[in-house]
């Protein structure tokens, strides 16, 4: 094992400054223009050349002392959300209606910190570190998928990423081998009935009744048909029908999401949603159209790499601060990378029960003291991983 990296006070200060700057200029997925330019400038100032796979991401590479060896990638996401910030922070969003409410500002700062720290310790590096500042994590199709399609992971042997994580207690870092975050798909349903007067329901085919029956049955898939030991979720988030209290509408529309870890569950959802729609519509003489859109796959942490990165964390944190991460049914497009290279994605705790707000909340904030910890774990993992491959 090589020397243990140190994050100096001045580097910590620099990382926090980057986070505060980026926090003020949130941009939506696929529109991260100001962010991209800032990241490029930052990297150029650190003597990196930048490129891009899609025109929306920013890529930089650090080559170690020898020009051989594998490539390890480190990814940060860059996009923000359509949320009006309500934190009263002195460095609050300067883009009204938009906010870094998920922590991606922190992820960029952590990885910029890694780029700075490793460039100062290049003599310890064997092989190449590829920094991926990725656009559009929050949407489908997302940036990860596009970068993979453009070949960004073709020559990469391992990839690391992390998320500042409010459900995990501040100070702790969470790792988990195998599935960590769920596959997340979406479906849309249009029910066609026959409208009419509210006083004469027998002359109509009421899509209100058909939809509510269908939704009741869809909700029974998880509770009655899937093994309770298998994590799975089906939620309807949108339901639209009707315009007036005494008119039975013609049609109804609803849309929902399913979450799963096991691809067999995904298949089961697809088949069973269709079976229910067929049966319910037939029983009311209604008809329907639907579509099922496959979204993020499950995020799978490779066992050995995850154990390795976890071990690097023990160099900086007491053993009891390193915990088994709880699986999340949230989707994360880092999952696309985990299908292409050995991957480790971990959680950095920033939560304090009762005192912090969750991700995507207008009062969401991160604990900046955790930023240099992320930088250390990623940078140390890069150095030790690459020298192990020598
Ligand atoms: Ni996020």
Centroid of ligand 1 to alpha carbon of 296 (angstroms):
13
Please give the span between the terminal C-alpha atoms of the chain, in angstroms, as a whole number. 13
Question: In whole angstroms, what separates CA 209 from the centre of its chain?
Answer: 36
Q: Which domains does the chain have, with CATH numbers?
A: 9-181+298-389 (3.40.630.10), 183-296 (3.30.70.360)
The predicted structure's pLDDT at residue 195: 98
CA separation for the pair 142, 148 (Å, rounded): 10
Centroid of ligand 1 to alpha carbon of 196 (angstroms):
46
The environment of the single-atom ion ligand 1, i.e. residues with CB closer than 5 A, is: 102
Task: With a cut of 70, say whether residue 2 has pLDDT above it.
Answer: no
Question: What percent of the chain has pLDDT above 70?
Answer: 99
CA separation for the pair 213, 332 (Å, rounded): 32
Structure tokens at 238: 């949108």
21 three-state secondary structure = helix
Structure tokens at 273: 């949603």
Centroid of ligand 1 to alpha carbon of 100 (angstroms):
9
For 293-330, the pLDDT digits (tens) are 999 999 999 999 999 999 999 999 999 999 999 999 99
Residue 253: count of CB within 10 angstroms of its CB: 14
**Global confidence as pTM:** 0.92
CA separation for the pair 111, 108 (Å, rounded): 5
The predicted structure's pLDDT at residue 3: 67
Considering only the C-alpha atoms of the chain, give the largest distance between any 2 of them, rounded to a whole number of Å.
82
Of 3-12, 38-47, 157-166, 230-239, least confident by mean pLDDT is 3-12
CA separation for the pair 363, 163 (Å, rounded): 18
Which residues are 51's β-sheet partners?
59
- Residues recognised as catalytic: 79, 137
For 364-378, the pLDDT digits (tens) are 999 999 999 999 999
The predicted structure's pLDDT at residue 37: 98
Centroid of ligand 1 to alpha carbon of 163 (angstroms):
7
Compute the C-alpha angle 52/102/260, nearest 5°: 90
Which residues are 252's β-sheet partners?
191, 241
Centroid of ligand 1 to alpha carbon of 1 (angstroms):
32
Question: What's the half-sphere exposure (Cβ side, CA atoms, 13 Å) at 68?
Answer: 3
Task: With a cut of 90, say whether residue 4 has pLDDT above it.
Answer: no
For 142-166, the pLDDT digits (tens) are 999 999 999 999 999 999 999 999 9
Pairing mode of beta strands 232-241, 173-175: unpaired
Centroid of ligand 1 to alpha carbon of 104 (angstroms):
6
Task: With a cut of 70, say whether residue 107 has pLDDT above it.
Answer: yes
- Name the residue with higher pLDDT: 83 or 67: 83
């Amino acid at each position: 094992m090589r020397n243990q990296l140190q994050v100096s006070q001045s580097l910590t200060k620099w990382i926090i400054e980057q986070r505060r700057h980026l926090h003020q200029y949130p941009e939506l997925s696929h529109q991260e223009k100001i962010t991209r330019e800032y990241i490029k400038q930052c990297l150029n100032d650190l003597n990196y050349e930048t490129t891009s796979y899609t025109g929306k991401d920013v890529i930089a590479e650090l080559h170690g002392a020898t020009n051989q060896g594998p490539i390890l990638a480190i990814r940060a996401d860059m996009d923000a959300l359509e949320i009006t910030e309500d934190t009263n922070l002195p460095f609050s969003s300067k883009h009204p209606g938009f906010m870094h409410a998920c922590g991606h500002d922190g992820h960029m700062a952590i990885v910029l910190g890694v780029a700075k720290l490793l460039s100062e310790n290049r003599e310890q590096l064997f092989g190449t570190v590829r920094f991926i500042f990725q656009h559009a994590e929050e949407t489908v199709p997302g940036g990860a998928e596009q970068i993979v399609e453009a070949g960004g992971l073709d020559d990469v042997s391992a990839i690391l990423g992390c998320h500042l994580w409010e459900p995990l207690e501040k100070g702790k870092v969470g790792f988990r081998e195998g599935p960590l975050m769920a596959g997340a798909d979406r479906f849309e349903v249009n029910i066609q009935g026959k409208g009419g007067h509210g006083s004469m329901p027998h002359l109509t085919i009421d899509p209100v009744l058909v939809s509510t029956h269908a939704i009741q049955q869809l909700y029974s898939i998880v509770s009655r048909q899937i093994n309770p030991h298998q994590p799975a979720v089906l939620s309807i988030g949108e339901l639209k029908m009707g315009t007036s209290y005494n008119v039975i509408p013609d049609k109804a529309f609803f849309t929902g999401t399913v979450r799963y870890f096991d691809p067999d569950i995904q298949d089961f959802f697809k088949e069973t949603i269709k079976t229910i729609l067929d049966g319910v519509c037939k029983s009311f003489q209604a008809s329907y159209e639907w579509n099922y859109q496959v979204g993020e796959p499950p995020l799978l942490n490779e066992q050995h790499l995850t154990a390795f990165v976890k071990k690097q964390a023990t160099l900086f944190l007491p053993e009891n601060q390193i915990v088994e991460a709880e699986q999340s049914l949230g989707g994360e497009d880092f999952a696309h990378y985990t299908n292409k290279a050995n991957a480790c994605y971990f959680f950095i705790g920033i939560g304090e029960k009762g005192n912090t707000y969750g991700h995507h909340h207008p009062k969401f904030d991160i604990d900046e003291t955790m930023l240099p910890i992320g930088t250390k774990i990623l940078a140390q993992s890069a150095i030790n991983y690459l020298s192990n491959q020598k």
